[in-house]
A and B are shown apart, each in its own frame.
Chain A
Amino acid sequence: MFILEVNPLVLPDIGLVFWNTIAFVVLLVVLGKFAWKPMLKAISERENGIEEALLQADKMKAEIATMQSENEALLAKAREERATLIKEAKEASDKMVAEAKEKAKSEYDKILADAQLAITQQKNAALTDVKNQVGTLVIEVAEKVLRKELSNKADQESYIKQLADGVKLN
């Protein structure tokens, strides 16, 4: 107590304690309700927002990466497909050309065969005609010879023989 009485500096004044307490309680209540609460809430909300945004950005990045690799795979597949398509088309066209060639050849062969057949037939017909005419001529000649040579028997016979030899032409 002696020290407290000696120095008034360390003796708390009851009036000051009273006003200090009121001021502190008012400050605590008013600031607590209208300043600290909204401030801290807003700050933590913002922090959460930033954290979420960062997480989302990472997620998007990963998604983009997967999409890119997917794209590349798709592209490669398309390229492959194109190559096979071209190959198939070429094969088909080659086949068609070959077929056409073959067909043309067979047609040509057929036409050739037909033509030969026709030629042979016509030749045979002409030959037959010639033979018939020769036959007629032979009969006519024979008739004429017969009419003239029937009186001489020996001549007749030699003549017939001669004629007959001559006809053996066919």
Chain B
Amino acid sequence: MSFLRIKTLLVAGFSLLAVLSVTKSFANETAMDSAKKEKEFNVTETILEHIKDDHSWHLWGDKSIHLPVILKTSKGVEVFSSAKLVDEHHEPIVYKGNFDYKLIEGKLKIVNEQGTIDEVANKQLLDISITKNVASLFVSVFIILVVFLTAASAYKKTGVTSAPKGLQSFMEPIVLFVRDDLAIPNIGKKKYAKFMPFLLTVFFLILTNNFLGLIPFFPGGANVSGNIAFTMMLAVCVFIVVNLSANKNYWEHIFWMPGMHWSMKLFLAPIELIGVFTKPISLMIRLFANITAGHILVLSLICIIFIFKTIFASAIAVPFAVFIGVIECLVAFLQAYIFTMLTAMYIGMANEEHHHDHAHEAHH
């Protein structure tokens, strides 16, 4: 009985949704070119468009923020709005600045008179535009700064001995988590303090961007932590910090593994040397792949509705998308945790003091 009742409720709900969407699509039809609407729906293109960087930040409907384009070419620096690169239908057009610029597959390129890419001029093109990802990154930086400067000022106001309050009491356990569960066990009680600012910054930057990426609308919607540039920058920072802080003992273990036969030492040295680079590269790929995969998964599920061209597909797509979304929330935290933990581990390995060195010397 109850199953039947739920079924009728579901049918009623979906038919209502269907009616609403039909009226809405009629309204859209009058406003838009019917020829353009007939364009074949391409899943891969749609998903990649959402994951990739963009020069404008879509808000809703036809509204979007046109972000500034900053270019450095052989003719100097040039700044203009990205609104000049698209027409009223969001189709790319040629903008005539110092060169002729056009968006080709979402990327700004210099084109010649025939409308093809000018390879020679593009070699000297440096595009440091404030893109969607950069803007989203700034939003996350702003949020982190506001949150932690507020939280830190609370310590000055209320003093050290009083219990944390409000934002301070929310952030303090996370900071303590990074310190007690990531930094101290991996680096050790003696040396962890020096690396705490780096670890905390990495952790909260990844965490904030992961969560901002999960928000489907402004000020989220960008895919910052799922962008290879972002993860590469972090990986390079980790590489620099690990190798600059590394002690003599660490390099000895890489180039001349103690306690081994000399032939084994020769054999191990190149492998260990590759390991120095693969560690940060694995960090880079892990974060990029996990976050991008999550975004692709959610978008694919939503695309099911458009593939089947029926509102009833949402009965499957939406619950699954919500389910994956919840998992993504977990992944957002987990990836920040893993990245920071592995960073702490690599720093710990580079700073390890080996007490059995004397034992090795005694053997030889």
Contact = CB atoms under 8 A, between A and B. Distances in A.
B152 A15 contact: no
A34 interface: yes
Contacts of A13: 53, 127, 131, 227, 229
A8 to B, nearest CB: 7
Interface residues of B, number: 49
Nearest to A37: B197
Contacts of B228: 9-12
Interface in B142-171: 144-145, 148-149, 151-152, 155-156, 160-161
B197 A28 contact: yes
Contact of B145 (A15, A31, A45): A31
Given A23-B141, A31-B144, A40-B193, A16 B292 contact: no
A34 B205 contact: no
Contacts of A15: 70, 126-129, 131, 134
B179 interface: yes
A23 B138 contact: yes
Contacts of B70: 15
B341 interface: no
| Central interface residue in A30, A32, A34, A36, by most chain B CB within 10 Å | A36
A34 B175 contact: no
A142 to B, nearest CB: 136
Contacts of A38: 152, 155-156
Interface of B: 48, 51-53, 70, 105, 107, 126-131, 133-134, 137-138, 141, 144-145, 148-149, 151-152, 155-156, 160-161, 172, 175-176, 179, 193, 196-198, 200-201, 205, 227-230, 232-234, 237, 288, 292
A24 B144 CA distance: 11
A54 to B, nearest CB: 13
Interface in A1-50: 8-21, 23-24, 26-28, 30-32, 34-40, 42-43, 45-46, 49
A20 B137 contact: yes
A8 B193 contact: no
A43 B172 contact: yes
18 contacts: A8-B107, A9-B51, A9-B228, A12-B229, A15-B126, A17-B232, A20-B134, A24-B201, A26-B141, A27-B141, A27-B145, A30-B145, A31-B197, A32-B197, A40-B196, A43-B175, A43-B179, A45-B160
A70 B48 CA distance: 82
A7 B172 CA distance: 41
Contact of B52 (A9, A27, A45, A46): A9
A147 to B, nearest CB: 144
Contacts of B198: 28
Nearest to A36: B197
Nearest to B125: A14
Contact of B237 (A8, A10, A24): A24
A45 B155 CA distance: 11
Looking at A9, A11, A18, which has the most chain B CB atoms within 10 Å of its CB?
A: A9
B129 A42 contact: no
A14 to B, nearest CB: 7
A42 B155 contact: yes
B200 A31 contact: yes
Given A24-B237, A40-B179, 9 more contacts: A10-B288, A13-B127, A13-B227, A14-B128, A16-B230, A19-B137, A28-B198, A31-B200, A38-B156
